[in-house]
Chains A and B, each alone.
Chain A
């Protein structure tokens, strides 16, 4: 098997917030009937974490399970484990209607850290209420960053993990870097977390 390579070679930018390319990370898209107990059981078993509520993400170290839409989940795991996860899902779900795809190589992952400044960087790019009262750890939000689709969640109280399509990784990194340029502090969230 070939060596996994990050889209941008692990670039970073240090501005009002720190932008770092993370990954490679194992990601598996799983679609099916999210309300079916048998389906939930398999998803929990393969992901190794609890089942997320609507718009929620459950994280445990490098494993995670995120609610992406009413019929779609995203499983996260170490990069090497993605292939086995897809095989396990196919085996355990059997004839139940589902779709499981290893999308690890289709994505780029960025870490945006810096507390309130990290919130500001994303708030400049996404039409999302990022105030500490509205967006907290445990939530996932699919939206757009400027012109491309992204999804993000909080990795901890001060930082965000953001995923986008690998083909637009440079665009997204440049967007984040520009939004995090020195002097770009707005101060809108400073009274928050």
Chain B
């Protein structure tokens, strides 16, 4: 069971109040893109054991999207941050590094 703080309304929301939105920071490849890019956008996911970045929506609360950094192995939540960003902010990355030195995720570390 996850307890995640929604950065939009500040509520400590329990998992059943939220809806998962899959992996975070995907770059969309639409019409005109190469088949390889489109396939990767549609199907290729990290599915890591450990540090992961995800999208969540506070569906039964303020209704807003946000990002969460968490560990898929221990369910520890490192932090949440705004949905209006294309990569995790520095303070979140530092928090992850403090707990999981040497972590990597896609091109981040």
A170 at the interface (CB under 8 A from B): no
B16 with A54: CB separation less than 8 A: no
7 of the cross-chain contacts (CB-CB < 8 Å) are A54-B10, A55-B11, A69-B62, A143-B60, A144-B16, A144-B17, A149-B60
Bin the interface of chain B by size: 10 to 19
- 8 Å CB interface, B1-37 against A: 8-14, 16-17
Q: Count the A residues whose beta carbon is within 8 Å of the partner chain — how many? A: 13
User: Which B residues form the contact surface with A (CB < 8 A)?
Assistant: 8-14, 16-17, 60-64
- Residues of chain A within 8 A (CB-CB) of B12 are 129
Cα separation A141 to B14 with both chains bound (whole Å): 13
B61 near A143 with CB under 8 A, answer yes
Within 8 A of B (CB), among A54-90: 54-55, 68-70, 72
A72 to B8, CA, bound (A): 12
Cβ-defined contact, A127 with B14, below 8 A: yes
Q: Lowest 8 CB-CB distances: which A-B pairs, in order?
A: A69-B62, A127-B14, A144-B60, A142-B61, A149-B60, A70-B8, A69-B63, A143-B60
Main secondary structure of the interface of A (DSSP, over half): strand
B3 — nearest CB in chain A belongs to which residue? A127
A55 touches B14 (CB 8 A): no
Interface residues of A (CB under 8 A from B): 54-55, 68-70, 72, 127, 129, 141-144, 149
Are A55 and B9 interface neighbours, CB within 8 A? Answer: yes
In the complex, chain A residues whose CB is within 8 Å of the CB of B13: 127
B84 smallest CB distance to A (angstroms): 11
Chain B nearest CB: distance from A48 CB in Å? 24
Complex Cα–Cα for A55 and B8 (A): 10
* Cβ 8 A contact of B17, one of A54, A72, A143: A143
Cα A141 to Cα B9 with chains together (Å): 10
Given contacts A127-B17, A143-B17, contact A69 B60 (CB under 8 A): no
- Other than A127-B16, A143-B17, A149-B60, give 5 A-B pairs with Cβ distance below 8 A: A69-B8, A127-B17, A142-B60, A142-B61, A144-B16
